[in-house]
């Protein structure tokens, strides 16, 4: 088997069912990756995470390079051992966090200098450094260093970000030293169709192991996001995995799968879980602190096989949140993570059965996902 193979193709859309092979194992696609920002999915053990059905997790290069540092993780045996996770791991390059969390002190075509959000210390990051850090961390999939422009963004600034992204992608590939890792290029260009096309075509010429669509879910709205994804995904090689970065609302995932996207990540399941926000198939979403749950003996979702729903009632979960018991945020996070894996399993099943187009249209127009699409429950946090 090659690194990525398509097992089934929906006849009425670009949705596809595939398998991505990494050094740490196979990933069934379309796949959702829980986010372990600083080396752990917040409040969830690796065993609990596996029980949700997750096959790959994402870790954040920016945060890990600041704390505990790449030297520490390398000394302790690499990122898999450090996280206690023996399955596939993807690390981002740190580009999004550099441009969103920090006061930049200098940016040019070579790289960026910024003040650490922890202690204000000056930190320099460029394509070679970002690649070297990821090579040493030892993840199975690593990302090119890119410039994620804000939205909205003036045309001249967006053009500059695209040029730097292309330039840095070439430098990342040149400096990539770990043959056991797959390096993905990242398409930028905001919602500008011409810039997206230009950036994507230049990256495809470099022949990366996979391709990501970055710079979305930053305020452009569902329709603009879908339009941009459709244009970009249509330019990417069919034999390479396609990854939409930082997009996690169910309606957005379904629409992107229709456009041919294979991989997703977002902090939504755990961040919203910590804030008593539960995703369900039957009722859309539930706010677990609400008094309506005060003596409700039902699980969050009937028929859900997660640890939370098999162990606790809505009333118990509400109680845990209201008294500050950590079990509340943990259990709703576990439920939400399982919800997302059940969603991806359903997507894969309907593609295999050639029913995806009809099912997805029904969900987006009539199901709970149509109500969730407009809920801004979290910022892009990947």
Active-site residue, selected from the candidate residues 10, 140, 262, 265: 265
Beta bridge partners of 186: 212
**Is omega for the bond preceding 361 within 30 degrees of 0, making it cis?**
no
Q: Would you call 92 a catalytic residue per the annotation?
A: yes
> Contacts by 311-315 with C-beta closer than 8 Å and gap 24+?
314/286, 314/288
Task: Convert 161-181 to b/e letters by CB count within 10 Å (16 or more is b).
Answer: bbbbbbbbbbbbbebbebeeb
Query: For residues 109-133, b (16+ Cβ closer than 10 Å) or e, as one string?
Result: eebbbbebeeeeeebebbbbbbbbb
Closest of 5, 1, 15 to residue 353, by C-alpha: 15
Indicate which residue of 10, 92, 192, 262 is catalytic: 92
DSSP label at residue 160: H
Computed from CA positions of residues 82, 18, 370, 296, in that sequence, does the dihedral angle turn out positive or negative?
A: negative
In angstroms, the CA 116 to CA 95 distance is: 13
382 vs 379: CA distance, rounded Å? 9
**3-class SS shares of the chain: helix, strand, coil, % to 5:** 40, 20, 40
End-to-end CA distance of the chain: 30
Q: Exposed, middle or buried by CB within 10 Å (0-12, 13-18, 19+), for 154?
A: exposed
- Closest to 15 (Cα-Cα) out of 316, 330, 349, 294: 349
Task: Tell me if residue 71 is catalytic.
Answer: no
DSSP conformation class of 292 = G
Are 232 and 213 in contact by the 8 Å Cβ rule? The answer is: yes
Count the Cβ atoms, other than its own, within 10 Å of residue 235: 16
Q: Is the dihedral of CA 115, 119, 123, 125 positive or negative?
A: negative
Contact by Cβ (8 Å): 57, 41: yes
The helix-helix angle for 193-205 and 222-233 (nearest 10°) equals: 30
> Any idea which residues carry the catalytic annotation?
92, 265
């Amino acid at each position: 088997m090659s690194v990525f193979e398509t097992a089934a193709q929906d006849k009425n859309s670009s949705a596809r069912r595939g398998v991505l092979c990494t050094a740490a194992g196979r990933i069934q696609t379309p796949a959702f990756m829980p986010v372990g920002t600083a080396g752990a999915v917040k409040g969830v053990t690796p065993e609990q995470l596996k029980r949700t059905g997750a096959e790959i997790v994402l870790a954040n290069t920016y945060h890990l390079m600041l704390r505990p540092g790449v030297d520490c993780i390398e000394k302790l045996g690499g990122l898999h051992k450090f996280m206690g996770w023996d399955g596939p791991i993807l690390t981002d390059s740190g580009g999004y966090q550099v441009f969103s969390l920090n006061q930049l002190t200098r940016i040019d075509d070579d790289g960026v200098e910024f003040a650490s959000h922890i202690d204000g210390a000056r930190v320099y990051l460029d394509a070679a450094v970002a690649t070297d850090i990821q090579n040493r961390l030892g993840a199975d999939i690593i990302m090119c260093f890119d410039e994620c422009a804000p939205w909205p963004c003036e045309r001249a600034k967006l053009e500059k970000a695209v040029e730097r992204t292309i330039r840095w992608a070439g430098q990342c590939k040149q400096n990539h030293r770990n043959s056991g890792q797959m390096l993905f290029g990242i398409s930028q260009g905001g919602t500008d169709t011409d810039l997206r096309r230009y950036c994507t075509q230049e990256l495809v010429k470099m022949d990366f192991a996979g391709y990501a669509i970055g710079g979305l879910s930053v305020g452009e709205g569902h329709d603009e996001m879908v339009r941009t994804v459709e244009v970009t995904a249509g330019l990417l090689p069919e034999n390479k995995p396609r990854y939409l970065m930082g997009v996690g609302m169910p309606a957005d995932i379904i629409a992107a799968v229709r456009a041919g996207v294979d991989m997703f990540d977002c902090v939504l399941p755990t961040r919203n879980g910590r804030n008593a926000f539960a995703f369900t198939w039957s009722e859309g979403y539930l706010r677990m602190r609400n008094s309506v749950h005060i003596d409700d003996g039902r699980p969050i979702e009937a028929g859900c096989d997660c640890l939370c729903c098999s162990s606790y009632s809505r009333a118990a979960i509400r109680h845990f949140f209201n008294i500050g018991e950590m079990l509340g945020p943990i259990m709703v996070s576990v439920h939400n993570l399982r919800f997302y894996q059940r969603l991806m399993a359903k997507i894969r099943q309907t593609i295999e059965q050639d029913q995806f187009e009809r099912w997805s249209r029904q969900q987006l127009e009539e199901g709970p996902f149509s109500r969730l699409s407009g809920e801004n429950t979290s910022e892009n946090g990947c």
